[in-house]
Amino acid sequence: MSRVQLEISLGILFVALTSALLIWYGLNEPKRMAEYELHQRAKAIEVGAELYDINCKGCHGPQGEGVVGLWPPLNDRHFFTNRLTEVGWSGTLEDYIISTVSSGRLVSTRPDLYPGQGRPVMPAWAERYGGPLRDDQIRNLAAFILNWKDTAPDRTAQMAEMAGPPTGTDINKQLPEGDPVRGQGLAAAKGCAVCHISAPTGPAWLATPDQPGIATRAEEILTDPNYTGNAKTAAQYLHESIVLPNVYIVPGFQAGVMPANYGDTLTDQELADIIAYLLTLK
């Protein structure tokens, strides 16, 4: 074989190997891109989870459960199945989340359920609107929220399910014996801990270096000449503050912030359990 023939043969072999490599690469490209997209989405969800924990859980809850009467849940079947129709949004849910987080919301779209507190009811978070977050961070937040879609519970049904008749607003009624362990779980499930532990929306429940816990402060409030309620004991004060939250407003806080419908949404046992829990926070 002459040198020219050898070079031609090697050239043909090289072209064949290159073609085979390109075909193999092309056949595997969809899989590689899918894996890359999955990896990028997982990373976005992880970053979004951190951003949500820092910026969003104070209102919408650590698990997106919201706060009854104040801020709507995001980890909720209604949000993923009906929200776009409810607000007349023609784009995708991802675009809706990004738009709402970016520019905020001036008024509530469901004032009968979530009247909102203050104006606007939700601040703008995007830097271009005066907020603290970049566009990529807001996209990551949207990815984290969308990650709840397949497992989001029907919170409307959960709210409607009650184990007995509502407790009402009579603070003199005799409640059953409460269980503080169940009460702690209820305080988290009902969103109470979001405002009183996770964020300073309401008076803090836990003790700090500057003040004792809510159980001790409940006793002290009864002797305060500015107290405007009708309770005679710490337990009764806690009862009153839950079902009639505007009878007495702790200095430094505003009336109308805490939902006034817990008398309609809690049973006697649930209320007793929550009070029993609060009485442990000295």
261-276: pLDDT as tens digits? 889 889 999 999 999 9
CA of 82: how far to CAs of 71, 88, 127, 141, 224, in Å? Answer: 17, 10, 29, 20, 48
Q: Rounded to the nearest 5°, which phi and psi values hold at 212?
A: -75, 175
> pLDDT digit string (tens) for 149-164?
999 998 876 655 666 8
**Is the pTM above the cut of 0.85?**
no
Share of the chain above pLDDT 90, in %: 57
Q: Are 195 and 203 in contact (CB under 8 A)?
A: no
Q: Mean pLDDT across the stretch 105-111?
A: 83
Closest by alpha carbon to 25, among 33, 37, 15? Answer: 33
Contacts with 161 (C-beta within 8 Å, 6 or more apart), sequence order: none
* Domains of the chain and any CATH numbers: 57-152 (1.10.760), 180-278 (1.10.760.10)
